[in-house]
Chains A and B, each alone.
Chain A
Amino acid sequence: MSGAPLNLTKGPDETFILNLGPQHPATHGVLRIKLTMDGEYVVRAEPVPGYIHRMHEKMGENRTWNQYLPNPSRVDYLSAMAYSHAHVAVAERAAGLEVPPRAEYIRVIVCELNRVSSHLVWLGAFLLDLGGFTPLLYAFDDREMILDLLEGITGSRLTYCYHRFGGVCNDVDDTFVRGTKAFVEHMRPRMKLYRDLVTDNIILRKRLTDIGHISADTCRRYGATGPVIRGSGVPYDVRRNEPYSAYPEFDFDIPVFPEGDCMARYLVRMEEIVQSLRIVEQAIGRLPDGPHIAPKVPKIMKVPPGDYFFATEAARGRFAIRAVSDGKEIPYRIKLRAPSFSNLSLFEEASQGMMLPDALALLGSLDLVIPDIDR
Protein backbone atom coordinates (compact mmCIF):
# COMPACT_ATOMS: atom_id res chain seq x y z
CA MET A 1 0.00 0.00 0.00
CA SER A 2 2.52 2.66 1.06
CA GLY A 3 5.41 2.39 -1.40
CA ALA A 4 7.05 5.60 -2.60
CA PRO A 5 9.27 7.22 0.01
CA LEU A 6 8.22 10.59 1.21
CA ASN A 7 10.57 13.49 0.86
CA LEU A 8 9.58 16.13 3.37
CA THR A 9 12.48 18.37 2.42
CA LYS A 10 11.05 19.27 -0.96
CA GLY A 11 10.74 22.94 -1.71
CA PRO A 12 7.38 24.66 -1.73
CA ASP A 13 7.34 24.79 -5.50
CA GLU A 14 7.20 21.03 -5.71
CA THR A 15 4.19 20.63 -3.46
CA PHE A 16 0.72 22.03 -3.95
CA ILE A 17 -2.16 22.96 -1.72
CA LEU A 18 -5.40 21.02 -1.93
CA ASN A 19 -8.43 22.22 -0.07
CA LEU A 20 -10.55 19.45 1.39
CA GLY A 21 -13.77 21.18 2.27
CA PRO A 22 -15.34 23.24 3.73
CA GLN A 23 -17.89 21.83 1.29
CA HIS A 24 -16.74 18.29 0.73
CA PRO A 25 -18.79 15.14 1.19
CA ALA A 26 -15.98 13.35 3.03
CA THR A 27 -15.80 15.94 5.79
CA HIS A 28 -19.49 15.40 6.66
CA GLY A 29 -20.07 19.03 7.40
CA VAL A 30 -18.24 22.26 7.08
CA LEU A 31 -14.73 21.29 8.05
CA ARG A 32 -11.84 22.52 5.95
CA ILE A 33 -8.58 20.66 5.79
CA LYS A 34 -5.72 22.38 4.05
CA LEU A 35 -3.66 19.61 2.50
CA THR A 36 -0.12 20.15 1.32
CA MET A 37 0.33 17.45 -1.27
CA ASP A 38 3.33 15.90 -2.92
CA GLY A 39 1.62 14.21 -5.82
CA GLU A 40 -0.77 11.71 -4.25
CA TYR A 41 0.93 11.90 -0.87
CA VAL A 42 -0.06 14.10 2.03
CA VAL A 43 2.85 16.17 3.31
CA ARG A 44 0.85 18.19 5.76
CA ALA A 45 -2.82 18.27 6.69
CA GLU A 46 -3.91 21.35 8.54
CA PRO A 47 -7.48 21.25 9.86
CA VAL A 48 -9.23 24.62 9.77
CA PRO A 49 -12.29 24.30 12.00
CA GLY A 50 -14.67 27.07 12.98
CA TYR A 51 -17.08 27.30 10.05
CA ILE A 52 -20.02 26.17 12.16
CA HIS A 53 -19.13 27.79 15.45
CA ARG A 54 -22.40 28.63 17.22
CA MET A 55 -21.14 29.85 20.60
CA HIS A 56 -22.76 27.13 22.64
CA GLU A 57 -20.40 27.85 25.52
CA LYS A 58 -21.13 31.57 25.44
CA MET A 59 -24.85 30.86 25.24
CA GLY A 60 -24.46 28.98 28.50
CA GLU A 61 -23.46 32.22 30.18
CA ASN A 62 -26.47 34.25 29.13
CA ARG A 63 -29.40 31.97 29.84
CA THR A 64 -30.71 30.12 32.85
CA TRP A 65 -29.88 26.50 33.57
CA ASN A 66 -33.32 25.50 32.28
CA GLN A 67 -33.03 27.52 29.12
CA TYR A 68 -29.80 25.74 28.23
CA LEU A 69 -31.57 22.36 28.07
CA PRO A 70 -32.04 22.39 24.26
CA ASN A 71 -28.40 23.30 23.58
CA PRO A 72 -26.32 20.20 24.43
CA SER A 73 -28.24 17.99 22.01
CA ARG A 74 -27.30 20.36 19.20
CA VAL A 75 -23.59 20.13 19.87
CA ASP A 76 -23.33 16.55 18.63
CA TYR A 77 -26.70 15.97 17.02
CA LEU A 78 -25.99 12.27 16.46
CA SER A 79 -25.30 11.52 20.09
CA ALA A 80 -27.70 14.00 21.67
CA MET A 81 -28.75 11.88 24.63
CA ALA A 82 -25.28 11.55 26.15
CA TYR A 83 -24.78 15.30 25.82
CA SER A 84 -28.04 16.21 27.51
CA HIS A 85 -27.23 13.67 30.17
CA ALA A 86 -23.96 15.39 30.99
CA HIS A 87 -25.69 18.75 31.22
CA VAL A 88 -28.47 17.73 33.57
CA ALA A 89 -26.12 15.52 35.60
CA VAL A 90 -23.66 18.33 36.26
CA ALA A 91 -26.49 20.43 37.71
CA GLU A 92 -27.83 17.47 39.68
CA ARG A 93 -24.41 16.77 41.11
CA ALA A 94 -24.03 20.44 42.04
CA ALA A 95 -27.45 20.84 43.59
CA GLY A 96 -27.38 17.41 45.25
CA LEU A 97 -30.52 16.35 43.42
CA GLU A 98 -31.47 12.70 43.75
CA VAL A 99 -32.57 11.02 40.50
CA PRO A 100 -35.11 8.17 40.76
CA PRO A 101 -33.82 4.76 39.60
CA ARG A 102 -36.41 4.52 36.84
CA ALA A 103 -35.19 7.79 35.36
CA GLU A 104 -31.58 6.58 35.46
CA TYR A 105 -32.56 3.38 33.67
CA ILE A 106 -34.49 5.28 31.03
CA ARG A 107 -31.50 7.57 30.54
CA VAL A 108 -29.23 4.58 30.02
CA ILE A 109 -31.64 2.96 27.55
CA VAL A 110 -32.12 6.06 25.42
CA CYS A 111 -28.41 6.84 25.51
CA GLU A 112 -27.45 3.37 24.34
CA LEU A 113 -30.10 3.36 21.62
CA ASN A 114 -28.73 6.71 20.57
CA ARG A 115 -25.21 5.26 20.48
CA VAL A 116 -26.38 2.46 18.20
CA SER A 117 -28.11 4.92 15.88
CA SER A 118 -25.02 7.13 15.85
CA HIS A 119 -22.75 4.20 14.98
CA LEU A 120 -25.15 3.22 12.21
CA VAL A 121 -24.87 6.68 10.69
CA TRP A 122 -21.12 6.42 10.96
CA LEU A 123 -21.17 2.99 9.31
CA GLY A 124 -23.19 4.24 6.36
CA ALA A 125 -21.22 7.45 5.95
CA PHE A 126 -17.83 5.82 6.40
CA LEU A 127 -18.52 3.19 3.78
CA LEU A 128 -19.84 5.92 1.53
CA ASP A 129 -16.47 7.67 1.88
CA LEU A 130 -14.80 4.45 0.84
CA GLY A 131 -17.04 4.11 -2.18
CA GLY A 132 -19.61 1.57 -1.01
CA PHE A 133 -23.11 2.91 -1.31
CA THR A 134 -25.49 0.06 -0.43
CA PRO A 135 -24.63 -0.47 3.27
CA LEU A 136 -25.84 3.07 3.96
CA LEU A 137 -29.37 2.03 3.04
CA TYR A 138 -29.28 -0.97 5.38
CA ALA A 139 -27.85 1.10 8.19
CA PHE A 140 -30.45 3.84 7.78
CA ASP A 141 -33.22 1.26 7.70
CA ASP A 142 -32.16 0.05 11.14
CA ARG A 143 -31.51 3.54 12.41
CA GLU A 144 -35.00 4.54 11.39
CA MET A 145 -36.42 2.05 13.87
CA ILE A 146 -34.46 3.68 16.68
CA LEU A 147 -35.56 7.14 15.61
CA ASP A 148 -39.18 6.00 15.59
CA LEU A 149 -38.81 4.59 19.10
CA LEU A 150 -37.20 7.74 20.44
CA GLU A 151 -39.64 9.98 18.61
CA GLY A 152 -42.49 8.13 20.29
CA ILE A 153 -41.30 9.09 23.77
CA THR A 154 -39.50 12.37 23.20
CA GLY A 155 -41.49 13.86 20.33
CA SER A 156 -38.40 14.56 18.29
CA ARG A 157 -36.15 12.58 15.99
CA LEU A 158 -32.73 14.11 16.46
CA THR A 159 -32.43 16.93 18.95
CA TYR A 160 -34.42 15.23 21.64
CA CYS A 161 -34.20 17.62 24.60
CA TYR A 162 -35.52 14.72 26.66
CA HIS A 163 -33.57 15.14 29.89
CA ARG A 164 -34.76 17.32 32.73
CA PHE A 165 -33.09 18.12 36.02
CA GLY A 166 -33.95 15.17 38.23
CA GLY A 167 -35.14 12.84 35.48
CA VAL A 168 -36.63 12.87 32.00
CA CYS A 169 -39.62 14.83 30.70
CA ASN A 170 -41.85 11.92 29.62
CA ASP A 171 -42.20 8.46 31.05
CA VAL A 172 -41.72 5.53 28.69
CA ASP A 173 -44.86 3.66 27.72
CA ASP A 174 -45.61 0.06 26.79
CA THR A 175 -45.21 0.76 23.10
CA PHE A 176 -41.66 1.88 23.73
CA VAL A 177 -40.81 -1.09 25.96
CA ARG A 178 -42.24 -3.56 23.46
CA GLY A 179 -40.69 -1.76 20.52
CA THR A 180 -37.27 -1.69 22.15
CA LYS A 181 -37.35 -5.39 22.95
CA ALA A 182 -38.39 -6.09 19.37
CA PHE A 183 -35.62 -3.86 18.09
CA VAL A 184 -32.96 -5.76 20.06
CA GLU A 185 -34.32 -9.00 18.62
CA HIS A 186 -34.31 -7.51 15.15
CA MET A 187 -30.81 -6.08 15.42
CA ARG A 188 -28.95 -9.25 16.42
CA PRO A 189 -29.38 -11.03 13.06
CA ARG A 190 -28.73 -7.72 11.33
CA MET A 191 -25.25 -7.71 12.87
CA LYS A 192 -24.62 -10.97 11.04
CA LEU A 193 -25.85 -9.33 7.86
CA TYR A 194 -23.38 -6.48 8.34
CA ARG A 195 -20.62 -8.99 8.95
CA ASP A 196 -21.41 -10.90 5.77
CA LEU A 197 -21.97 -7.85 3.65
CA VAL A 198 -19.30 -5.51 4.99
CA THR A 199 -16.94 -6.62 7.73
CA ASP A 200 -15.72 -9.82 6.09
CA ASN A 201 -15.67 -8.31 2.65
CA ILE A 202 -12.22 -8.65 1.15
CA ILE A 203 -12.30 -5.22 -0.47
CA LEU A 204 -13.04 -3.51 2.85
CA ARG A 205 -10.43 -5.56 4.69
CA LYS A 206 -7.74 -4.70 2.17
CA ARG A 207 -8.80 -1.07 2.24
CA LEU A 208 -8.68 -0.67 6.02
CA THR A 209 -6.18 -3.12 7.47
CA ASP A 210 -2.83 -1.48 8.26
CA ILE A 211 -4.11 1.87 7.05
CA GLY A 212 -4.09 4.97 9.24
CA HIS A 213 -2.17 3.66 12.16
CA ILE A 214 -2.54 5.66 15.38
CA SER A 215 -0.50 4.64 18.39
CA ALA A 216 -1.86 4.60 21.91
CA ASP A 217 0.71 7.22 22.78
CA THR A 218 -0.56 9.57 20.05
CA CYS A 219 -4.10 9.11 21.35
CA ARG A 220 -2.99 10.03 24.85
CA ARG A 221 -1.03 13.07 23.75
CA TYR A 222 -3.98 14.51 21.84
CA GLY A 223 -6.62 13.44 24.33
CA ALA A 224 -8.38 11.19 21.84
CA THR A 225 -11.13 9.12 23.41
CA GLY A 226 -13.96 6.81 22.47
CA PRO A 227 -13.60 4.24 19.71
CA VAL A 228 -10.41 5.97 18.53
CA ILE A 229 -8.42 5.23 21.69
CA ARG A 230 -10.08 1.83 22.14
CA GLY A 231 -9.02 0.96 18.61
CA SER A 232 -5.46 1.64 19.73
CA GLY A 233 -5.58 -0.84 22.55
CA VAL A 234 -6.45 1.40 25.49
CA PRO A 235 -9.54 0.21 27.38
CA TYR A 236 -10.67 3.72 28.31
CA ASP A 237 -14.41 4.19 28.59
CA VAL A 238 -16.08 6.75 30.85
CA ARG A 239 -18.85 4.27 31.65
CA ARG A 240 -16.19 2.10 33.30
CA ASN A 241 -13.50 4.55 34.37
CA GLU A 242 -15.76 7.17 35.92
CA PRO A 243 -19.02 5.22 36.34
CA TYR A 244 -22.15 7.35 36.33
CA SER A 245 -25.90 6.88 36.26
CA ALA A 246 -27.02 3.22 36.36
CA TYR A 247 -24.10 1.85 34.30
CA PRO A 248 -22.42 -0.05 37.17
CA GLU A 249 -25.54 -2.22 37.41
CA PHE A 250 -25.15 -3.67 33.92
CA ASP A 251 -22.97 -6.33 32.53
CA PHE A 252 -21.13 -5.26 29.38
CA ASP A 253 -17.69 -5.41 27.83
CA ILE A 254 -15.54 -2.60 26.56
CA PRO A 255 -14.41 -3.67 23.10
CA VAL A 256 -10.69 -3.02 22.60
CA PHE A 257 -8.60 -3.74 19.51
CA PRO A 258 -4.85 -3.16 19.79
CA GLU A 259 -3.96 -2.73 16.10
CA GLY A 260 -4.62 1.02 15.94
CA ASP A 261 -5.52 0.97 12.24
CA CYS A 262 -8.78 1.91 10.54
CA MET A 263 -9.99 -1.68 10.72
CA ALA A 264 -9.54 -1.72 14.51
CA ARG A 265 -11.65 1.41 14.91
CA TYR A 266 -14.22 -0.08 12.58
CA LEU A 267 -14.37 -3.28 14.63
CA VAL A 268 -14.60 -1.38 17.92
CA ARG A 269 -17.73 0.43 16.76
CA MET A 270 -19.36 -2.69 15.37
CA GLU A 271 -18.70 -4.51 18.62
CA GLU A 272 -20.00 -1.53 20.59
CA ILE A 273 -23.34 -1.85 18.87
CA VAL A 274 -23.55 -5.41 20.17
CA GLN A 275 -22.60 -4.30 23.68
CA SER A 276 -25.10 -1.45 23.63
CA LEU A 277 -27.82 -3.89 22.66
CA ARG A 278 -26.79 -5.99 25.67
CA ILE A 279 -27.14 -3.00 27.98
CA VAL A 280 -30.50 -2.02 26.49
CA GLU A 281 -31.79 -5.56 26.87
CA GLN A 282 -30.78 -5.75 30.54
CA ALA A 283 -32.10 -2.30 31.35
CA ILE A 284 -35.45 -2.75 29.65
CA GLY A 285 -35.87 -6.16 31.27
CA ARG A 286 -35.26 -4.81 34.77
CA LEU A 287 -36.84 -1.38 34.35
CA PRO A 288 -37.80 -0.36 37.91
CA ASP A 289 -41.18 1.15 38.73
CA GLY A 290 -41.51 4.58 40.19
CA PRO A 291 -41.50 8.17 39.05
CA HIS A 292 -39.59 9.25 35.93
CA ILE A 293 -38.58 12.52 37.51
CA ALA A 294 -37.64 13.54 41.04
CA PRO A 295 -40.65 14.89 42.96
CA LYS A 296 -39.25 18.16 44.26
CA VAL A 297 -37.35 19.81 41.47
CA PRO A 298 -37.26 23.61 41.68
CA LYS A 299 -39.01 25.21 38.71
CA ILE A 300 -36.05 27.44 38.15
CA MET A 301 -32.83 25.59 38.73
CA LYS A 302 -30.35 27.29 41.01
CA VAL A 303 -26.96 25.82 41.71
CA PRO A 304 -24.83 26.60 44.78
CA PRO A 305 -21.61 28.51 44.02
CA GLY A 306 -18.78 26.26 42.93
CA ASP A 307 -16.96 24.58 40.11
CA TYR A 308 -18.56 21.36 38.86
CA PHE A 309 -17.70 18.73 36.33
CA PHE A 310 -19.44 15.78 34.76
CA ALA A 311 -18.33 13.46 31.97
CA THR A 312 -20.30 10.95 29.92
CA GLU A 313 -19.34 8.47 27.25
CA ALA A 314 -20.88 9.77 24.05
CA ALA A 315 -20.73 7.85 20.78
CA ARG A 316 -17.51 9.63 19.81
CA GLY A 317 -15.81 9.55 23.18
CA ARG A 318 -15.65 11.50 26.36
CA PHE A 319 -17.99 14.44 26.52
CA ALA A 320 -17.69 16.58 29.62
CA ILE A 321 -19.25 19.75 30.94
CA ARG A 322 -17.52 22.00 33.38
CA ALA A 323 -19.91 24.45 34.95
CA VAL A 324 -18.92 27.29 37.23
CA SER A 325 -21.74 28.75 39.26
CA ASP A 326 -21.85 31.90 41.32
CA GLY A 327 -25.16 30.91 42.87
CA LYS A 328 -27.34 32.81 40.39
CA GLU A 329 -29.92 31.41 37.98
CA ILE A 330 -27.47 31.80 35.15
CA PRO A 331 -24.20 29.82 35.16
CA TYR A 332 -21.03 31.88 35.37
CA ARG A 333 -19.25 29.70 32.83
CA ILE A 334 -20.02 26.60 30.81
CA LYS A 335 -17.15 24.72 29.23
CA LEU A 336 -17.82 21.84 26.88
CA ARG A 337 -15.19 19.21 26.31
CA ALA A 338 -16.05 17.73 22.93
CA PRO A 339 -14.54 14.40 21.84
CA SER A 340 -14.47 15.16 18.11
CA PHE A 341 -12.17 18.14 18.64
CA SER A 342 -9.47 16.03 20.27
CA ASN A 343 -10.00 13.21 17.80
CA LEU A 344 -9.56 15.61 14.90
CA SER A 345 -6.40 17.18 16.32
CA LEU A 346 -4.39 13.99 15.87
CA PHE A 347 -5.23 13.90 12.16
CA GLU A 348 -2.41 16.25 11.22
CA GLU A 349 0.20 13.94 12.72
CA ALA A 350 -1.40 10.64 11.79
CA SER A 351 -2.04 11.50 8.15
CA GLN A 352 1.54 12.51 7.32
CA GLY A 353 2.88 10.60 4.34
CA MET A 354 -0.39 8.84 3.59
CA MET A 355 -1.95 8.62 0.17
CA LEU A 356 -4.97 10.87 -0.24
CA PRO A 357 -7.62 8.10 -0.42
CA ASP A 358 -6.09 6.47 2.66
CA ALA A 359 -6.11 9.77 4.51
CA LEU A 360 -9.82 10.02 3.76
CA ALA A 361 -10.31 6.53 5.17
CA LEU A 362 -8.48 7.66 8.29
CA LEU A 363 -10.64 10.78 8.52
CA GLY A 364 -13.78 8.68 8.19
CA SER A 365 -12.61 6.22 10.81
CA LEU A 366 -12.35 9.07 13.33
CA ASP A 367 -16.12 9.60 13.00
CA LEU A 368 -16.09 13.36 13.30
CA VAL A 369 -19.17 15.45 13.84
CA ILE A 370 -18.26 18.97 12.79
CA PRO A 371 -20.67 20.94 15.02
CA ASP A 372 -19.15 19.01 17.90
CA ILE A 373 -15.68 20.27 16.95
CA ASP A 374 -16.75 23.89 16.59
CA ARG A 375 -19.42 24.02 19.30
Chain B
Amino acid sequence: MKNIIRDSVAGFKTLVVGMRVTIDQFFRRPVTVHYPHEALKMPDRYRGHIELVRDPETGKSLCIACKSCEKACPSDCIFVDGLKREGEKRKSATEFTLDFTKCSLCGACVEVCPTDALRFTKSYNLASTQKQSYFFDLMKRMEEQKK
Protein backbone atom coordinates (compact mmCIF):
# COMPACT_ATOMS: atom_id res chain seq x y z
CA MET B 1 0.00 0.00 0.00
CA LYS B 2 2.78 2.37 1.03
CA ASN B 3 4.58 1.53 -2.20
CA ILE B 4 1.58 2.33 -4.32
CA ILE B 5 1.22 5.74 -2.68
CA ARG B 6 4.93 6.46 -3.07
CA ASP B 7 4.87 5.37 -6.73
CA SER B 8 1.82 7.46 -7.45
CA VAL B 9 3.32 10.56 -5.89
CA ALA B 10 6.64 10.11 -7.69
CA GLY B 11 4.84 9.33 -10.92
CA PHE B 12 2.64 12.38 -10.60
CA LYS B 13 5.72 14.51 -10.06
CA THR B 14 7.19 13.36 -13.40
CA LEU B 15 4.00 14.42 -15.11
CA VAL B 16 4.18 17.87 -13.52
CA VAL B 17 7.83 18.22 -14.57
CA GLY B 18 6.89 17.24 -18.11
CA MET B 19 4.01 19.69 -18.13
CA ARG B 20 6.37 22.46 -17.07
CA VAL B 21 8.55 21.75 -20.11
CA THR B 22 5.51 22.03 -22.34
CA ILE B 23 4.45 25.31 -20.76
CA ASP B 24 8.00 26.71 -21.09
CA GLN B 25 8.04 25.83 -24.76
CA PHE B 26 4.62 27.34 -25.25
CA PHE B 27 6.11 30.80 -24.85
CA ARG B 28 8.98 30.28 -27.27
CA ARG B 29 9.17 31.92 -30.64
CA PRO B 30 7.88 29.73 -33.46
CA VAL B 31 10.60 27.82 -35.30
CA THR B 32 8.71 27.20 -38.49
CA VAL B 33 8.33 29.43 -41.52
CA HIS B 34 4.96 29.97 -43.15
CA TYR B 35 5.72 28.50 -46.54
CA PRO B 36 4.69 29.47 -49.25
CA HIS B 37 4.13 33.00 -47.91
CA GLU B 38 7.68 32.99 -46.62
CA ALA B 39 10.47 30.83 -47.96
CA LEU B 40 13.92 30.07 -46.68
CA LYS B 41 17.01 31.09 -48.59
CA MET B 42 18.79 28.13 -50.08
CA PRO B 43 22.44 27.82 -49.08
CA ASP B 44 25.13 28.54 -51.69
CA ARG B 45 25.95 24.91 -52.14
CA TYR B 46 22.36 23.80 -52.54
CA ARG B 47 22.10 21.14 -55.20
CA GLY B 48 19.09 21.75 -57.39
CA HIS B 49 18.93 20.48 -60.98
CA ILE B 50 21.81 21.50 -63.22
CA GLU B 51 21.93 24.31 -65.75
CA LEU B 52 24.44 25.59 -68.27
CA VAL B 53 26.81 28.40 -67.43
CA ARG B 54 27.37 31.18 -69.94
CA ASP B 55 30.73 32.53 -70.87
CA PRO B 56 30.63 36.11 -69.53
CA GLU B 57 32.60 37.41 -72.54
CA THR B 58 30.92 35.77 -75.51
CA GLY B 59 27.52 35.16 -73.95
CA LYS B 60 27.61 31.61 -75.25
CA SER B 61 27.65 28.39 -73.26
CA LEU B 62 31.01 27.28 -71.87
CA CYS B 63 30.22 23.72 -72.91
CA ILE B 64 32.60 22.18 -75.41
CA ALA B 65 30.41 19.12 -75.98
CA CYS B 66 33.07 16.74 -74.71
CA LYS B 67 30.38 14.45 -73.34
CA SER B 68 32.26 13.80 -70.08
CA CYS B 69 29.15 14.60 -68.07
CA GLU B 70 27.07 12.30 -70.22
CA LYS B 71 29.48 9.47 -69.48
CA ALA B 72 29.89 10.26 -65.79
CA CYS B 73 26.19 10.44 -65.03
CA PRO B 74 25.12 7.31 -63.16
CA SER B 75 21.54 7.56 -64.38
CA ASP B 76 21.92 8.46 -68.07
CA CYS B 77 20.03 11.72 -67.68
CA ILE B 78 22.18 13.92 -69.87
CA PHE B 79 22.25 14.14 -73.63
CA VAL B 80 24.77 16.46 -75.28
CA ASP B 81 25.37 17.05 -78.93
CA GLY B 82 27.75 19.53 -80.49
CA LEU B 83 29.65 20.47 -83.56
CA LYS B 84 32.70 22.39 -84.54
CA ARG B 85 31.65 25.63 -86.15
CA GLU B 86 33.62 27.30 -88.91
CA GLY B 87 36.36 29.53 -87.51
CA GLU B 88 36.08 28.30 -83.95
CA LYS B 89 38.85 26.49 -82.12
CA ARG B 90 36.64 24.20 -80.07
CA LYS B 91 33.43 22.33 -80.42
CA SER B 92 30.33 23.92 -78.98
CA ALA B 93 27.13 22.36 -77.77
CA THR B 94 24.08 22.51 -79.99
CA GLU B 95 21.81 20.42 -77.83
CA PHE B 96 21.84 19.78 -74.11
CA THR B 97 18.93 18.03 -72.45
CA LEU B 98 18.40 16.77 -68.94
CA ASP B 99 15.97 14.06 -67.97
CA PHE B 100 15.25 15.18 -64.44
CA THR B 101 12.97 12.23 -63.75
CA LYS B 102 16.07 10.08 -63.32
CA CYS B 103 18.53 12.60 -61.87
CA SER B 104 19.73 11.85 -58.35
CA LEU B 105 21.37 15.27 -57.89
CA CYS B 106 24.67 13.57 -57.23
CA GLY B 107 26.83 16.25 -58.80
CA ALA B 108 29.03 13.93 -60.83
CA CYS B 109 28.38 15.96 -63.99
CA VAL B 110 29.29 19.27 -62.36
CA GLU B 111 32.48 17.83 -60.89
CA VAL B 112 33.66 16.17 -64.07
CA CYS B 113 33.16 19.10 -66.43
CA PRO B 114 36.54 20.39 -67.65
CA THR B 115 35.29 23.89 -68.45
CA ASP B 116 32.99 24.45 -65.46
CA ALA B 117 30.09 24.74 -67.85
CA LEU B 118 27.55 23.30 -65.43
CA ARG B 119 26.19 24.52 -62.13
CA PHE B 120 23.40 23.68 -59.74
CA THR B 121 20.28 25.79 -59.66
CA LYS B 122 18.47 26.59 -56.46
CA SER B 123 15.03 25.66 -57.70
CA TYR B 124 13.08 23.21 -55.59
CA ASN B 125 9.47 24.05 -56.46
CA LEU B 126 9.29 21.56 -59.28
CA ALA B 127 6.12 19.65 -58.52
CA SER B 128 4.15 18.69 -61.59
CA THR B 129 1.61 16.15 -62.70
CA GLN B 130 3.18 15.81 -66.13
CA LYS B 131 6.25 13.79 -66.89
CA GLN B 132 7.16 16.15 -69.72
CA SER B 133 7.78 18.98 -67.30
CA TYR B 134 10.92 17.18 -66.15
CA PHE B 135 12.63 16.96 -69.51
CA PHE B 136 14.66 20.13 -69.49
CA ASP B 137 16.18 21.67 -72.56
CA LEU B 138 19.09 23.38 -70.88
CA MET B 139 20.22 25.21 -74.04
CA LYS B 140 16.83 26.82 -74.34
CA ARG B 141 16.83 27.59 -70.64
CA MET B 142 20.13 29.41 -70.96
CA GLU B 143 18.92 31.35 -74.01
CA GLU B 144 15.81 32.41 -72.17
CA GLN B 145 17.82 33.61 -69.20
CA LYS B 146 19.63 36.00 -71.56
CA LYS B 147 16.50 37.94 -72.22
Per-position binary interface string of chain B over residues 7-36, scored 1 when its CB falls under 8 Å from any chain A CB and 0 otherwise: 000111011011011100100000100000
On whether the beta carbons of A156 and B20 are closer than 8 Å, the reply is no
State whether the Cβ of A138 lies closer than 8 Å to any Cβ in chain B. yes
Cα A138 to Cα B11 in complex, Å, equals 22
Total interface residues on B, CB under 8 Å, equals 27
Chain A residues whose C-beta falls within 8 Å of the C-beta of B106 in the assembled complex: 69-70, 161
Chain A residues whose C-beta falls within 8 Å of the C-beta of B45 in the assembled complex: 151-155, 170
**Which residues in window 192-220 of A have CB below 8 A to B?**
193, 196-198, 200-203
Cα A196 to Cα B74 in complex, Å, equals 48
Known A68-B74, A141-B31, A202-B14; contact A193-B108, beta-carbon cutoff 8 A: no
Chain B residues whose C-beta falls within 8 Å of the C-beta of A202 in the assembled complex: 10-12, 14-15
State whether the Cβ of A2 lies closer than 8 Å to any Cβ in chain B. no
State whether the Cβ of A15 lies closer than 8 Å to any Cβ in chain B. no
Of chain A, the residue at the smallest CB distance from B74 is: A67
Q: How far is the CB of A168 from chain B (nearest CB, A)?
A: 12
Interface centre among B15, B25, B107, B112 (most CB of A within 10 A): B107
On whether the beta carbons of B107 and A196 are closer than 8 Å, the reply is no
Majority secondary structure, A binding face: helix
On whether the beta carbons of B74 and A159 are closer than 8 Å, the reply is no
Chain B residues whose C-beta falls within 8 Å of the C-beta of A156 in the assembled complex: 46-47, 105
Chain A residues whose C-beta falls within 8 Å of the C-beta of B47 in the assembled complex: 155-156
Cα A299 to Cα B71 in complex, Å, equals 13
On whether the beta carbons of A69 and B120 are closer than 8 Å, the reply is no
On whether the beta carbons of A196 and B20 are closer than 8 Å, the reply is yes
Q: How far is the CB of A325 from chain B (nearest CB, A)?
A: 18
Of chain A, the residue at the smallest CB distance from B104 is: A70
Cα A307 to Cα B15 in complex, Å, equals 56
Cα A70 to Cα B102 in complex, Å, equals 13
On whether the beta carbons of A201 and B18 are closer than 8 Å, the reply is yes
Please pick, from B20, B74, B107, B120, the residue contacting A63 in the complex, using a CB distance under 8 A: B74
State whether the Cβ of A345 lies closer than 8 Å to any Cβ in chain B. no
Majority secondary structure, B binding face: helix
Chain B residues whose C-beta falls within 8 Å of the C-beta of A153 in the assembled complex: 45
On whether the beta carbons of A201 and B15 are closer than 8 Å, the reply is yes
Cα A196 to Cα B21 in complex, Å, equals 7
On whether the beta carbons of B74 and A151 are closer than 8 Å, the reply is no
State whether the Cβ of A169 lies closer than 8 Å to any Cβ in chain B. yes
Per-position binary interface string of chain B over residues 106-124, scored 1 when its CB falls under 8 Å from any chain A CB and 0 otherwise: 1110011000000010000
**Which residues in window 64-117 of B have CB below 8 A to A?**
72-74, 104-108, 111-112
Per-position binary interface string of chain A over residues 59-100, scored 1 when its CB falls under 8 Å from any chain B CB and 0 otherwise: 000010011111100100000000000000000000000000
On whether the beta carbons of A161 and B74 are closer than 8 Å, the reply is no
Cα A326 to Cα B47 in complex, Å, equals 34
Chain A residues whose C-beta falls within 8 Å of the C-beta of B56 in the assembled complex: none
Of chain A, the residue at the smallest CB distance from B105 is: A156
State whether the Cβ of A253 lies closer than 8 Å to any Cβ in chain B. no
Q: How far is the CB of A75 from chain B (nearest CB, A)?
A: 13
State whether the Cβ of A144 lies closer than 8 Å to any Cβ in chain B. yes
Chain B residues whose C-beta falls within 8 Å of the C-beta of A63 in the assembled complex: 74
On whether the beta carbons of B108 and A67 are closer than 8 Å, the reply is yes
Chain B residues whose C-beta falls within 8 Å of the C-beta of A299 in the assembled complex: 112
**Which residues in window 119-174 of A have CB below 8 A to B?**
134, 138, 141, 144, 151-156, 159, 161, 169-170
Please pick, from A66, A71, A193, A203, the residue contacting B72 in the complex, using a CB distance under 8 A: A66
Chain B residues whose C-beta falls within 8 Å of the C-beta of A169 in the assembled complex: 107, 111
On whether the beta carbons of B107 and A138 are closer than 8 Å, the reply is no
Cα A193 to Cα B17 in complex, Å, equals 10
Q: How far is the CB of B137 from chain A (nearest CB, A)?
A: 24
Q: How far is the CB of A106 from chain B (nearest CB, A)?
A: 14
Residue ranges of B at the interface with A (Cβ–Cβ < 8 Å): 10-12, 14-15, 17-18, 20-22, 25, 31, 43, 45-47, 72-74, 104-108, 111-112, 120
7 closest cross-chain pairs (CB), A and B:
A202-B11, A67-B74, A155-B47, A70-B106, A155-B45, A197-B21, A70-B104
A-B contact pairs, 9 of them (CB 8 A): A66-B72, A67-B73, A70-B106, A138-B25, A154-B45, A193-B21, A196-B17, A201-B14, A202-B10
